[in-house]
Amino acid sequence: MTAHTNLCHPIPGVLLSATAARIRYQGRDDLALMALPAGARCAAVFTRNAFRAAPVLVAQRHLAVASPRYLLINSGNANAGTGEQGLADAAASCAALATLTGCRTEEVLPFSTGVIGESLPLAKLAAALPMALERLRETTWPAAARAIMTTDTLPKLATRRFTLAGGLAAVVSGMAKGAGMIRPDMATMLAFLATDLAVDQALLQLCLRDAVETSFNAITIDGDTSTNDACVLAAAGTLGNDPLDDPESPDFLTLRAAVEAVCLELATAIVHDGEGVTKLVRVRVEAARDAVEARRVADTIAHSPLVKTALFASDPNWGRILAAVGRAEVDRLEIQAVRVWLDDLCIVSRGRRDPDYSEAAGQAIMAQSEIGIRVALGRGEAATEILTCDLSYDYVRINAEYRT
Amino acid sequence: MTAHTNLCHPIPGVLLSATAARIRYQGRDDLALMALPAGARCAAVFTRNAFRAAPVLVAQRHLAVASPRYLLINSGNANAGTGEQGLADAAASCAALATLTGCRTEEVLPFSTGVIGESLPLAKLAAALPMALERLRETTWPAAARAIMTTDTLPKLATRRFTLAGGLAAVVSGMAKGAGMIRPDMATMLAFLATDLAVDQALLQLCLRDAVETSFNAITIDGDTSTNDACVLAAAGTLGNDPLDDPESPDFLTLRAAVEAVCLELATAIVHDGEGVTKLVRVRVEAARDAVEARRVADTIAHSPLVKTALFASDPNWGRILAAVGRAEVDRLEIQAVRVWLDDLCIVSRGRRDPDYSEAAGQAIMAQSEIGIRVALGRGEAATEILTCDLSYDYVRINAEYRT
């Protein structure tokens, strides 16, 4: 839908490259490398899927014992569902890069995205590493963002400049791939962010965790998750500031806001890029007893195939929204207290169609390309908001025809 | 797909009729009436959706104070999302029938299925009641099954004869409507069963609850549920047996098996009749720690749009099944212990593709019109099985185009 091809501000000391290793795709780059300066810190979050892919397991193992110097990312092969051999291959790709650069194997984190269940072609990957190292530049964000694409139609980049209390100007930039998680076997969500700030390791992890919660974890296409999802935030420490170590400090809050903004822009771009998506839908649930309850209701609406097909059809079929709220297992829900809006148009109040609602007004909102569904449960103060999309013919076509 | 138009064995003393009240549909019957003899007992289960429709609330209220003599069922209008007026209309329809027959209003149970959010046209319904009473016959099951249809393409009937320990021959018959719950606003699941046996009220409820659990509650199309779902089992008591009152007695177990068989046949017919369904899929999860865990994994697989589109495409895309298992929130799942089969073909073992698996063999099974997905979690003894279907273009078309 919208292009997200804006250029990234480079991060001093953070180098990237894009290379064609011909792992699966021909005629395009499929290997991205990110090099971090000595002393950089990395935070990372990974998929919660029990079937974590080999590179995820190896990356977690390496992160536990060393600070990364290289992030090695291939597209075309997910190295998932590959058992012991997959673990050996992921570790071997890190070892190959370590041999060439003189760093420790544990200072390399591997990431893979592509088909599940096929062995990683290690020789091809290793053969491309010298070129990947030779091409490392601070300005290669756009090409690297293209190299990690699988079913994406557009590269995804986002960047923010911000100023610290002391007047220093800092930057956070990021790239992501993923086409709405509609095909986790090919459309793993990967995101890599970096800042030139120096940040304490624990604080960096807190910053990333918070940002992911309100961005990547607040988008949903169909409820499916991938075996390879990962998001990394690197603090290069090249700006020269004293490392941020106070979670209440204005500078940390400024950084966190910038990281959240970059993550949210990348997450929105992922939903936009879901093939088959014709509408962006913000589902907001408020006046819930707690955040868990709010999220469960929001997820039930956002995952309902009936609601999603009505959105595709621009049909203000509010009975489907009501039925989704009703089956979200909210303990002792008082239906008289529930209200539902499309944007600012109240459609349901007191357990029935709002007297002032008209089908024509509902129809006008449903015809928009961006739609807000808002539900107030009348039980408390908690609220949540997630971003989703409609369910179209093309969703079925793309997901049915892939591989066949 | 398969026709389920077999005739029902009549239940002595249980009369049915089918009448055209022109509530929404023209040129077809849309009002079914079932009359029970004095002394009959009724068990019932209703939707767990918090937004229960007016007739559901009124039926529950009436059941609490009286034994039903009449079940009054209309199609075309669900009387759901209609607030206080809807409750008054449902009660008034019962009162109108009570006036004509001399029974108490509480001895009538109302059921409605059709569009949500529109007022029940009470005058039309009441005007049809004299004809509905006049037409009551023991043999009208097929016409009544047609009168309660909404988006169904076929009426659904099932029947079983069985013999009690003492030699008495008994019958259980039933009718249902519902097209795969793919459109709860139009495709409420309703089922009405009757037997000529005399059965103690509490035991009858137990029998129905058990039967529903393994039939109607073990089918799923898209996870959505209706505001109007209901299932009733009437024991007419016209056979002359001493009322069954021992849950361990052979006769009760025989009855329960017959009721389960009728429910399962009707439930299977509902999945078959889901428009857009091209495949029936049995998802079996075994070696789970407990039944709740087994059901959660089965539901996650059965509701995954990615798994369902792969089924539609006849694509043995086992990575999607694995990813669904992995996100089912099974506490400390040991992925090495998980095995997955298509019918009897092992596709995943030890966290990777089974060495003996071939794509051609998987493809052959996926091309079938009935497919079994079996997952062993390697954690315990619990198992569950649910029936679902694929996700096709037609699912989107039907659900997007309805109402527009």
Only one residue has tokens 């008591």, namely B237
- B 29-88 → A contacts, CB under 8 A: 48-52, 80-83, 85-86
The rounded distance, in Å, linking the Cα atoms of A241 and B197 is: 85
The rounded distance, in Å, linking the Cα atoms of A100 and A94 is: 10
CA distances from A137 to A12, A94, A132, A142 (A): 10, 20, 10, 11
- B 338-377 → A contacts, CB under 8 A: 348, 350-353
Sheet containing strand A156-163, strands side by side: A41-46, A230-235, A190-195, A169-177, A156-163
The rounded distance, in Å, linking the Cα atoms of A138 and A17 is: 9
- B193 near B262, Cβ under 8 Å? yes
The rounded distance, in Å, linking the Cα atoms of B127 and B131 is: 8
The rounded distance, in Å, linking the Cα atoms of A316 and B357 is: 47
According to DSSP, residue B106 is labeled G
pLDDT band of residue A63 (cuts 50, 70, 90) is very high
Beta bridge partners of A137: A16
- A397 near A307, Cβ under 8 Å? no
- B126 near B96, Cβ under 8 Å? yes
Domain boundaries, chain A: 15-272, 280-401
Catalytic residue among A19, A113, A140, A188: A188
The residue of chain A with its CA nearest to that of B51 is A326
According to DSSP, residue A15 is labeled E
The rounded distance, in Å, linking the Cα atoms of A335 and A347 is: 14
Mark yes or no for CB contact A82/B352 under 8 Å. yes
Give the distance from CA A66 to its chain's centroid. 25
Three-state DSSP state, A262: helix
CA distances from A396 to A273, A367, B276 (A): 16, 21, 12
Provide mean pLDDT across the span B68-90.
Answer: 94
- A 211-250 → B contacts, CB under 8 A: 222-227
Q: Is B95 on the interface with A (CB under 8 A)?
A: no
Sheet containing strand B190-195, strands side by side: B41-46, B230-235, B190-195, B169-177, B156-163
The residue of chain B with its CA nearest to that of A308 is B400
Size of interface A-B (CB pairs under 8 A): 202
- Give the pairing of strands B169-177 and A352-353: unpaired
Q: What percent of chain A has pLDDT over 90?
A: 66
Per-residue pLDDT tens over the stretch B173-224: 999 998 754 444 445 789 999 999 999 999 999 999 999 988 888 887 666 6
The rounded distance, in Å, linking the Cα atoms of A83 and A91 is: 13
Is the pLDDT higher at B186 or at B63? B63
Q: What percent of chain B has pLDDT over 70?
A: 94
Q: Do domains B15-272 and B280-401 have the same CATH topology?
A: no
- B 160-189 → A contacts, CB under 8 A: 182-185
Q: Which residues contact A249 (CB under 8 A, 6 or more apart)?
A: none
Tokens representing B7 are: 């005739």
pLDDT at A196: 98
Among residues B373, B319, B366, B310, which one has the least CA distance to residue A82? Answer: B319
The distance of A329 to chain B (nearest Cα, Å) reads 8
What are the catalytic residues of B? 188
pLDDT band of residue A275 (cuts 50, 70, 90) is low
Is the pLDDT higher at B78 or at A404? B78
Provide mean pLDDT across the span B383-404.
Answer: 75
Among residues A295, A347, A289, which one has the least CA distance to residue A321? Answer: A347
Q: Is A304 on the interface with B (CB under 8 A)?
A: yes
- A317 near B403, Cβ under 8 Å? yes
Mark yes or no for CB contact A322/B227 under 8 Å. yes
Q: Please give the backbone phi and psi of residue A110, each rounded to the nearest 5 degrees, phi first.
A: -95, 145
The rounded distance, in Å, linking the Cα atoms of B256 and B262 is: 10
Provide mean pLDDT across the span A344-372.
Answer: 90
Name which of A183, A319, A393 is nearest B116 (Cβ-Cβ). A319
Beta bridge partners of A190: A177, A230
Beta bridge partners of B159: B173
Tokens representing B173 are: 């018959």
CA distances from B97 to A55, B63, B130, B259 (A): 69, 16, 9, 29
Mean pLDDT of chain B: 90
Q: Which residues in chain B are closer than 8 Å to A350, comparing Cβ atoms?
A: 83
The residue of chain B with its CA nearest to that of A222 is B305
Active site residue A188: yes
The rounded distance, in Å, linking the Cα atoms of A35 and A17 is: 9
Tokens representing B46 are: 């209703």
- pLDDT > 60? residue B6: no
pLDDT at B222: 62
The rounded distance, in Å, linking the Cα atoms of A398 and B266 is: 33
Q: Is A378 on the interface with B (CB under 8 A)?
A: no
According to DSSP, residue B296 is labeled H
The distance of B275 to chain A (nearest Cα, Å) reads 14
The rounded distance, in Å, linking the Cα atoms of B302 and B280 is: 11
ipTM above 0.90, yes or no: no
Element (H, E) at B284: strand B280-288
Provide mean pLDDT across the span A167-193.
Answer: 79
Element (H, E) at B131: helix B122-134
- pLDDT > 90? residue A86: yes
Beta bridge partners of A8: none
The rounded distance, in Å, linking the Cα atoms of B10 and B171 is: 8
Measured over the CA atoms of residue B137, residue B140, residue B146 and residue B148, the dihedral's sign is positive
The residue of chain B with its CA nearest to that of A391 is B396
Measured over the CA atoms of residue B353, residue B357, residue B358 and residue B359, the dihedral's sign is negative
Question: Taking the CA of residue B182 as centre, how many other CA atoms within 13 Å lie in the half-sphere pointing to its CB?
Answer: 29
Is the pLDDT higher at A122 or at B152? A122
E strand residue ranges, B301-381: 339-342, 345-349, 352-353, 370-376
Is the pLDDT higher at A7 or at B345? B345
- pLDDT > 50? residue A129: yes
- A68 near A33, Cβ under 8 Å? no
Least confident of A311-315, A358-362, B72-76: A311-315
According to DSSP, residue A57 is labeled H
- pLDDT > 90? residue A185: no
Beta bridge partners of A284: A374, A385
The residue of chain B with its CA nearest to that of A115 is B319
Per-residue pLDDT tens over the stretch B98-141: 999 999 999 999 999 988 888 999 999 999 999 999 999 999 99
pLDDT at B184: 42
The distance of B356 to chain A (nearest Cα, Å) reads 14
According to DSSP, residue B375 is labeled E
Q: Provide CATH code, domain A280-401.
A: 3.10.20.340
- pLDDT > 50? residue A336: yes
The rounded distance, in Å, linking the Cα atoms of A352 and B233 is: 30
- pLDDT > 60? residue B3: no
Domain A15-272: CATH superfamily is: L-amino peptidase D-ALA esterase/amidase (3.60.70.12)
